[in-house]
Amino acid sequence: MQISTVVNEIKKIIPEDKIRLNEPMKLHTSFRIGGPADILLLPTEVSEIRNVVIFCRKHDIPLYVIGNGSNLLIRDKGIRGIVLKISQNFNDIEVKDNFIKAKSGTLVTVLSKTALENHLKGLEFASGIPGTLGGAIAMNAGAYDGEFSKIIEKVTVMDFEGNIRDLIKEELEFDYRWSVFQEKNLIILEALIKLEKGNYDEIKSKMEEYSARRKEKQPLNLPSAGSTFKRPKGHFAGTLIEKAGLKGTRIGDAAVSELHAGFIVNLGNATACDVERLIEYVQKKVYEKFQIWLEPEVKILGEK
């Protein structure tokens, strides 16, 4: 099916103002890198997501689902098919007692502020995580001894046939930077989070402490996808990279951060090719020195 035909059909199931054609994906990733997506969609309703999923399945059109693009590297030739962006466009929040129910596009920073405003503790660790709730659940994001597996009670998902169901915590198979969503094609729609009542000033103080530590130790002034590599068992990726003498190592405009070696940053005009080559170089050098293979934490999509 030609792109023009696909677009005409898509306009029948999702409003035209939520459709972007030949959209530069560098506008939708924290790395500020990425070629164009044929079609980018910004749904605001579950029915729109479902209609798109069913349409793509029926016509065998590649479908990719992204959140805020904070843990994502899009290759330079972009993405063929349809990209469904579930971010600020899909972000309703409800608070009842010590529970928060939020749609998957809710920014984690907004979620943690909502918890603070309602005197709920347990989300302080997430106050500086830049992604969406959906992405944070999928990768079991965490920091400062906290992680999403500790607070998620239930997740509502949609499969790629348009069926919707709830998964309880035990079905999510949480592990370090891992969940069932990394091996099954399921779209996270919303989640129920269980927190505890707490003291506003104590919660705020902890959030401010974590924020200050992030600013001191992480290169927040440059585009990146956060931690580039997963933590190897018994080690820290950044420490291994630093001990291998790789701080500041540069390929094109991609560089190992001078501030925190666990981050690869975009110095201005880095390409996805630059980043991938630098990832491979770091992996090779760390393995040569320590016999430890670093696994990328950043997700890579698109055509080279």
Out of 75, 227, 257, 276, pick the active-site residue.
227
DSSP label at residue 43: -
Q: Which residues contact 98 (CB under 8 A, 6 or more apart)?
A: 120, 194, 195, 196, 197
Q: What are phi and psi for residue 273, nearest 5 degrees? A: -60, -40
- Residue holding tokens 């998902």? 157
Annotation marks residue 183 as catalytic: no
Q: What are the distances in angstroms from CA 246 to CA 134, 156, 285?
A: 33, 42, 8
Beta bridge partners of 19: 41
Out of 48, 124, 190, 297, pick the active-site residue.
297
Annotation marks residue 196 as catalytic: no
Task: Tell me if residue 193 falls in helix, strand or coil.
Answer: strand
- The closest of 203, 160, 202, 209 to 181, measured between CA atoms, is 160
d(CA 256, CA 278): 8
Out of 147, 177, 179, 231, pick the active-site residue.
177
Annotation marks residue 117 as catalytic: no
Residues designated as active site: 177, 227, 297
